[in-house]
Structure 1
């Protein structure tokens, strides 16, 4: 895993098409902005985990 330090107003560019910017730091929370083309899906990790658990529960219920 690459670990970077960024200040408010600074950004990181991924694959030349996705920009992740630090918008604010409020205590222990960091507000980020993500600029990506429409064909790139951006989803919070906890939502992916929740979806996977739901799928697993559905598979267990179906069998």
Structure 2
């Protein structure tokens, strides 16, 4: 696992197409923004755990993130 420190306003770019930005830090919570192409699914981890084992991330419908 890669661990990075970012300040509000700083970003991380994945695969040249996914941008993860730190929008705010409120106490122990961090608000992030994710920009990605429409064909990239963005799903919160806790939602993946609630899906039956036979499903995969690729079978979930993409989250509208625009």
Shared topology, TM-score over 0.5? Answer: yes
Which ranges in structure 2 are unaligned for 5 or more consecutive residues?
A: 55-66
Tell me which protein shows more helix as a share of its residues.
1
Residue 16 of structure 1 corresponds to 16
Hey, what's the Cα distance between the residues in 2 that align with 1:18 and 1:50? Answer: 25
TM-score, length-scaled by structure 1: 0.81
Which ranges in structure 1 are unaligned for 5 or more consecutive residues?
A: 56-63
- After the TM superposition, list the runs of 4 or more consecutive aligned residues in structure 1 that deviate by more than 3 angstroms: none
TM-score, length-scaled by structure 2: 0.78
For these two proteins, the number of residue pairs brought into alignment is 54
Alignment of 1:35-54 (within 5 A): 35-52=35-52
